Amino acid sequence: MMASGLFRRVAAGLMFLACGTATAQAAGTLVIAIPANQEPATLDGHIDPFQSTWLVDSLMADPLLVLAPDGTYKPDLALAWESNPAGTVWTFKLRPGVTFQDGTPFNAAAVKANLERIIDPKTQSAQMKSEVGPIKSVDVVDDLTVRVGYDTPWVTLLDAMRRVPIWSPTAMEKAGLNGFASVLVGAGPFTFVRKVPNDRVDLKKWPGYGGWNSVQKKPGAVELDGVSIRWIGSSSVLGSLVQSGDADVATFLDPISVPDYKDNKAFQFYAKDQAGTGLQFVMNIRKPPLDDIRVRQALITGSDRPGLNTLLYDGLFAVGQGPLNDVHPCYWRGAETMYPYNPTKAGQLLDQAGWVLPQAGGMRVAKGVKNVADGTPLRIRMTMISRKEMGEGLQAQFKQLGIDFAVEVVPGPVQLDRVQKREFDLIYERQRSPDPVILDQIWNSKWEVPGGWAWTGFKDAAFDALVGQLRTVPDFAKRCEIARDVQKTIMENALMLPTLSDPVYVAMSPKVKGWETGAEGNWFYVNNVTK
Amino acid sequence: MLRFAATRSLQLVPLLLVVSLIVFMIMHALPGDPVALMLQGAEGGVASPERLAELRAQLGLNDPLLLQYGRFVAHALEGDLGMSVRFHEPVTGLITDRFGSTLALAFSGLAVAIVLGVPLGALAATRRNSWIDVASMGLSYIGASMPVYWLALVLILAFSFGLGWFPPAGGGTWQSLVLPAVTLGVSASGLISRLVRSNLIEVFSEDYIRTGRSKGLSEGAILWGHALKNAMMPVVTVMGLQFGAMLAGTVVTETVFSRPGVGRLVVNAILWKDYPLVQGCVLFIAAVYLLVNLLVDVAYAALDPRIVP
């Protein structure tokens, strides 16, 4: 029985190869090439924790609301929403006359079913459960009104709901938890055709779509016949696919491919920054030498980030200054003047900290440093998972200061093992989101737990209370004010080394019209696309 | 012959047990708490203690090591290699879904290796010490020493982006199989051609070849009718090993050409810390490799019955 099952699956793979001509795309199909490292494991965004999953889902299942390219929340399957002043009760007014792709109606009961599926432990929702928060109740007020309740304020619900695919409850029930990823029935512009692992996801136009997404300019179904997403394993190949005509759009291009498209009138090209932390390195302040703030300050002021950007990336990246990058709506500008590049000052700070240059030359050594034997060389290790060239650039800069700066590029598991054992000096940690709540995730010592993201060892009750407010204050402007205070404290304590921030590069064929990038660089809309 | 095949098959059992033990120990030899590593890598939010405990129980990590190993073997014998943490799907299904593509690539890669390697080796042997011999062996060295990644990109540049003959990425069509097969085949052909050459030279010095020549047989008849058949015996073994290596080691080719396959599956599983999937893939690849070797041994015995005890 088992053997025949195995045989059938292997045979299906071989048949797929033999019947390849059936995979030809319709003329109006938009082929989008995306790096293979962003390929979702499962296309069910209730379970899979990645932005790329939710992006693909958004083509098949409209959410309640969208984050429009102008950075504001706009209606989709919900027409309006509001919360009580405390941010503990959220009410959504739903769009009437919407049906799912299987013909079943979209209503308050459908929203309830989706939210309850996400928070159900059996679903093992990796990220979305964290995003929608500790929901206490989901109430169907009437057929087109749904109310979500919390015990404590949950002010980031809209940011979560813009990514939650609303699936057909009937289809979810019919397919079961593990079977639904191969069915995927929503109320989006495209229907699911198939997913070929490590290769592609094919979608075709849903004629019944009502153009409910506010980004869409014309009512009714989209103009494209379909979308084919190709997961490309090699960045060199990805960079050439639009030029060769094998793809209409190539996203997340490597900087090395940018000159092929930028300022080339034969193609369309754009770069979009990603709001978040940028490529930051947090510091382990539990042990020497980074337990001394002067050493930490020396690293920040002794790093020439603009120089790195010019040298390595032709100035294409944004220069990092603090815990959030300068495209984040809550960016704190004070970080720009706090640690200007000054190698002389960096050297003085190291001298003051007791790390002195030996008379014979070479790297700095300890002289009277607490808990460090005299003569111990100043050795700092940077742990990263990619962009080794950036580490090596910093290594060269810090060598001038007399720091023995080691760079190690490790796979993800080793990085996390270093974190668990607290065996790191500087380690790569990045979050992307236009919401300031990511500061709480990284810097609140409450999250210094197994599986948590607070890694530096910095603990301060007043600071924790401040950063914790990012999860409770409903007003976004007020939360940004708090976020700026948080960034100031982080930089005053020199807890992280900002480096650079890489934009998303996208190249397109000139025949693609109507492509819209989201407010975040890693999101797009094809509702208005023609080709 | 049947007895020989049965004996060799039985010898696989302890080998597979050892492999399964090594694979099982990988998880337990890992630094740190594998469950925390799995959740932090696969799940974006903060993993709750309840979720950590749940996954630990799900993987049976609270049980004694011996019990865990026994359960792993028992389930593996039933074809159940566990559930992938990241995919939320049975590991067996994930592997078999991709194995067809890997199998097709390995078969076609081996075919290319044979088509290129055997004639090249034969040509070099029959023109020994001539410029043709030097050129043939030079080509085989180049083929064997070219980095697969580089060769793949050059082929894409020339035949996809340059001439537009074959797709640069993806699977599912015979056209998409050509460049990956050539990439794999060129590398393997170098070894095969050198082996064919050296074996043929040895066979050419045998008495029965001299007898054939003295009877007036043409060089072609000697080569194709007598020498090559005998020279191919060790080559068949190497081909089998190459085929096993292709089944297990196509990850670079699969990645550059964006093809689905078991190689990419296992590498991604490692990167995403999906240890049940890593365990399952390694065990599966090892089993396939051993099976291929068994088939080679049996084929060898069929070609040369003298080796059957």
- Residue B92 is assigned to a structural domain of this protein: no
CATH of the domain at B196: 1.10.3720.10
Domain for residue B288, yes or no? yes
Q: Quickly list H helices, chain B.
A: 2-29, 34-42, 49-58, 65-77, 91-126, 131-145, 148-155, 175-204, 207-214, 219-221, 228-248, 251-256, 262-271, 275-303
Is A475's Cβ below 8 Å from some Cβ in B? no
> In sequence order, what are the residues at sequence separation of 6 or more whose Cβ sits closer than 8 angstroms to the Cβ of residue A531?
A28, A30, A224, A248, A509, A511, A512, A513
Residues in A closer than 8 angstroms to B167, CB to CB, are 246
Residue partners of B290: CB distance under 8 A and separation at least 6: B12, B15, B16, B19
Give the number of other CB atoms < 10 A from CB of residue B234: 14
**Is residue A263 situated within a structural domain?**
yes
Domain limits for position B240? 102-269
Q: Are residues A137 and A189 in the same domain?
A: yes
B158 contacts on A by Cβ (under 8 Å)? none
> Is there a contact between A378 and A406 (Cβ–Cβ < 8 Å)?
no
Name which of A498, A522, A515, A494 is nearest A434 in CA terms: A522
Whether residue A289 sits in one domain with residue A432:
yes
Q: Is residue A386 part of a domain?
A: yes
B256 and B172 housed in the same domain: yes
Question: Same structural domain for residues B252 and B280?
Answer: no
* Range with lowest mean pLDDT among A86-100, B60-74, B153-167: B60-74
Identify whether residues B67 and B55 lie together within a single domain. Answer: yes
Question: What is the full per-residue pLDDT of chain A (531 aa) written as tens digits?
Answer: 344 454 455 554 454 444 443 344 556 999 999 998 888 888 999 987 778 899 999 999 999 999 998 888 999 999 999 999 889 999 999 999 999 999 999 999 999 999 999 999 888 776 788 889 889 999 999 999 999 999 989 988 998 999 999 999 999 999 998 889 999 999 999 999 999 888 899 999 999 999 999 999 999 999 999 999 999 988 889 999 999 999 999 999 998 899 889 889 999 998 988 889 999 999 999 999 999 999 999 999 999 999 999 999 989 899 999 999 999 999 999 999 999 999 999 999 999 999 999 988 899 999 999 999 999 999 999 999 888 999 999 999 999 999 999 999 887 767 777 888 889 999 999 888 888 999 998 999 998 877 678 999 999 999 999 999 998 898 889 999 999 999 999 999 999 999 999 999 999 999 999 999 888 888 999 999 998
Least CA distance to B31: which residue of chain A?
A417
* Residue B28 shares a structural domain with residue B76: yes
Specify the pTM: 0.82
The residue with tokens 């093809």 is B259
CB proximity B216 to A under 8 Å: no
Tally of CB atoms within 10 A around B78 = 10
Q: What is the CATH number of the domain that holds A452?
A: 3.10.105.10
Cα–Cα distance, A172 to A97 (Å, whole number): 21
Return the residue matching tokens 């640690």. Answer: A339
The residue to which tokens 């194995």 are assigned? B99
Whole-number pLDDT of residue A62: 98
Query: A201 and A66 in one domain?
Result: no
Statement to judge: residues A443 and A368 lie in one domain: yes
- Nearest Cβ partner for A12 among B49, B100, B174: B100
Instruction: Answer whether B251's CB lies under 8 Å from B162's CB.
Output: no
Q: Is B289 on the interface with A (CB under 8 A)?
A: no
Q: Are residues A378 and A245 in the same domain?
A: no
Q: Is B255 in contact with A234 (Cβ distance < 8 A)?
A: yes
Q: Which pLDDT score, from 0 to 100, does residue B57 have? A: 80
Task: Tell me the per-residue pLDDT of A220-269, one tens digit each, with 9 for 90 and over.
Answer: 999 999 999 999 988 889 999 999 999 999 999 998 899 889 889 999 99
Which residues, including other chains, have CB under 8 Å from residue B268's CB and lie 6 or more apart? B274
Q: Are residues B70 and B186 in the same domain?
A: no
Question: Residue A79, SS3?
Answer: strand
Is the Cβ of A176 closer than 8 Å to some Cβ of chain B? no
**Whole-number Å distance between alpha carbons of B212 and B233:** 20
B177 is a domain residue: yes
- The pLDDT score that the predictor gives to residue B54 is 76
- pLDDT beyond 70 at B33: no
Distance from CA of B301 to the nearest CA of A (A): 27
Mutate to test the interface with B, among A37, A182, A198 (most CBs of B within 10 A): A198
How far CA A481 is from CA of A302, A466, A486, in Å, comes to 29, 11, 9
Residues B146 and B194 in one domain: yes
Considering the domain architecture, whether residues A186 and A287 belong to the same structural domain is answered as no
CB contact under 8 A, B88 and A47: yes
User: CA geometry: angle at A506 spanning B166 and B86, to 5°?
Assistant: 80
For A307, which DSSP code? H
Domain presence at residue B112: yes
Kindly report the number of other CB atoms within 10 A of residue A179's CB atom: 13
B175 touches chain A (CB under 8 A): yes
Pick A23's closest partner by Cβ from B36, B173, B258: B173
φ/ψ of B61, rounded to 5, equals -75, -5
| Domain presence at residue B128 | yes
d(CA A487, CA A330): 9
Whether B11 and B136 share a structural domain:
no
* Together in a domain, A380 and A269: no
Q: Which of chain A's residues have a Cβ under 8 Å away from the Cβ of B51?
A: 451
Alpha carbons A142 and A140: distance in angstroms, whole number:
5
B247 occurs within a structural domain: yes
Based on the fold, state whether residues A331 and A374 are members of the same structural domain. Answer: yes
* Cβ B224 vs Cβ B203: under 8 Å: no
Is residue B93 one of the residues assigned to a domain? no
Higher per-residue pLDDT: B89 or A16 = B89
Range in A162-171, A290-299, B229-238, B281-290 the model is least confident about: B229-238
Q: Is residue A46 part of a domain?
A: no
In this predicted structure, what is the pLDDT of residue B178? 93
Cα dihedral sign, A256-A258-A264-A265: positive
Say if A45 falls within a structural domain.
no
Nearest CA in chain A to B167: A246
Quickly count: other Cβ atoms within 10 Å of residue A344's Cβ. 10
Query: Do B139 and B81 share a structural domain?
Result: no
Task: Decide if A199 touches B, using CB distance below 8 A.
Answer: yes
The complex scores an ipTM of 0.75
- What does the DSSP assignment read for A188-256? SSEEEEEEETTTEEEEEE-TT----STT-SSSSS-S-SEEEEEEES-HHHHHHHHHHTS-SEE-S--GG
Edge-to-edge strand list for the sheet holding A226-232: A190-196, A200-205, A226-232, A29-35, A249-250, A504-508, A268-272
pLDDT of B248 over the 80 cut: no
**Nearest to A145, CA basis, from A77, A215, A45:** A77
Provide, as residue numbers in chain A, all residues whose Cβ is less than 8 Å from the Cβ of B97: 9, 12-13, 197
Q: Which B residues 266-285 touch A at CB under 8 Å?
A: 270-273
The answer to whether the beta carbons of residues B279 and B27 sit under 8 Å apart is: yes
Residue B271 · residue A410 · CB < 8 Å: no
Q: What pLDDT shows up at residue A16? A: 47
Give the A:B interface size as CB pairs under 8 Å. Answer: 202
Chain segment A300-333, per-residue pLDDT in tens: 999 999 999 999 998 989 999 999 999 999 999 9
Average pLDDT, chain B: 83
My answer on whether B178 and B305 are in the same domain is no
Q: Is B93 on the interface with A (CB under 8 A)?
A: yes
Identify residue A271 by its one-letter amino acid code: A
Task: Mark whether A496 and A515 lie in a shared domain.
Answer: no
**Is A42 touching B (CB cutoff 8 A)?**
yes
DSSP annotation string for A161-202: HTT-----HHHHHHH-TTTGGGT---SSSEEEEEEETTTEEE
**A477-527 residue pLDDT tens:** 999 999 999 999 999 999 999 999 999 999 999 999 999 988 888 899 999
The DSSP result for B226-251, as a single string, is IIHHHHHHHHHHHHHHHHHHHHHS-H
Q: How many domains does chain B have?
A: 2
Question: What is the domain range of residue A140?
Answer: 53-193
Instruction: Label residues B236-266 b or e (16+ Cβ within 10 Å = b).
Output: ebbbbbbbbbbbbbbbbbbbbbbbbbbbbbb
Domain boundary among A132, A163, A193: A193
Residue A111 sits in a domain of what CATH number? 3.90.76.10
pLDDT at A328: 93
Number of domains in chain A: 3
CATH of the domain at A249: 3.40.190.10
Residue with tokens 């401040």: A466
- Does the beta-carbon distance from A17 to B173 stay under 8 Å? yes
* Contact across the interface for A42 and B87, Cβ inside 8 Å: yes
Do B114 and B210 reside in the same domain of the chain?
A: yes
Residue A75 and residue A162 in one domain: yes
- Partners of residue A11 in chain B, C-beta under 8 Å: 100
Q: Rounded distance, CA A52 to CA A50, Å?
A: 5
Nearest to B46 among A9, A240, A452 (CB): A452
CB-based contact (8 Å) between A134 and chain B? no
> What is the predicted pLDDT for the residue at B309?
67
> What is the pLDDT at residue A175?
95
Q: Which residues of B touch A452 (CB under 8 A)?
A: 46-47
| Segment 405-444 of chain A within 8 Å of chain B by CB | 411-413, 416-417, 420-421, 441
* B96 → chain A, closest CA residue: A10
pLDDT of residue B306: 72
Nearest CA of chain A to the CA of B303: how many Å? 29
Q: How far is CA A267 from its chain centroid? A: 27
